[in-house]
Amino acid sequence: MIFADIILFCILIITKKLRIMFEELLSLVKEHAGSAVINNPAVPNEHNDAVCETATNSIIDKLKEMAGSGGIESITNLFQSGGNVASHPVVSNISSGVVGDLMKNFGFDSATAGSIVSQLIPTVMSKLTSKTNDPNDNSFNMSGILESLVGGGGGGILNMFKGFFGAK
């Protein structure tokens, strides 16, 4: 029973970190959604928040997917690269995912979804990269992002208790 409680505790820590990352990233997306979403006649005003939330979820989902399939080095490279991130493979992968989710969730055609994404995602990822590398901005940091994506904060605790109980 104690082991199950510890696993639940670790899952709660990881879930909380993802929720915090989502909220901070959503704020960044909304901050830069101007012409891409809010002032875009192809996006009905009543869908503005949902489009921003979908974009945010898609960014996190793609990063988690890449982290889970061995792409940690690519993600780390993105956040350490600085400069123009628009052509980075991770951003391209994220952009493709957001286009698909916008088409699926809102019925946008590929041109409309692509236009939203091309105006929004490179800017958001550039700002996220800048914030991650700014020592005076603690809203995002590399270790926090990686822990949110792969559960690094809880994984160490979980592995310690697995060892304690003889589990592998």
Percent of the chain having pLDDT more than 90? 41
Separation CA 48–CA 58 (nearest Å): 15
Contact 102, 116 (CB under 8 A): yes
| Rounded Cα–Cα distance for residues 147 and 139 (Å) | 14
Q: How confident is the model at residue 141 (pLDDT cuts 50, 70, 90)?
A: low
Mean pLDDT of the chain: 80
Residue 99 token pair: 């286009």
Residue 42 pLDDT more than 50?
yes
CA angle 125, 126, 129 (to 5 degrees): 85
Note the pLDDT of residue 107: 95
pLDDT of 129 higher than 90: no
Confidence band (pLDDT; 50, 70, 90) for 15? low
Q: Name which of 144, 105, 122 is nearest 20 in CA terms.
A: 144
User: What letter does residue 32 receive in the DSSP assignment?
Assistant: T
d(CA 64, CA 38): 27
What is the pLDDT averaged over residues 48-76? 89
The average pLDDT across 148-168 equals 45
Radius of gyration of the chain (CA): 18
Contact (CB, 8 A) for 121 and 55: yes
CB-based contact 159:77 (threshold 8 Å): no
Residues 36, 1: contact at Cβ < 8 Å? no
pLDDT of residue 99: 97
Domain count, the chain: 1
Res. 122: pLDDT tops 90: yes
The band of 96, judged by pLDDT with boundaries at 50, 70 and 90, is very high
pLDDT band at 155 (very low <50, low <70, confident <90, very high): very low
Structural domain range at position 140: 2-164
**pLDDT-derived band of residue 4, with 50, 70 and 90 as boundaries?**
low
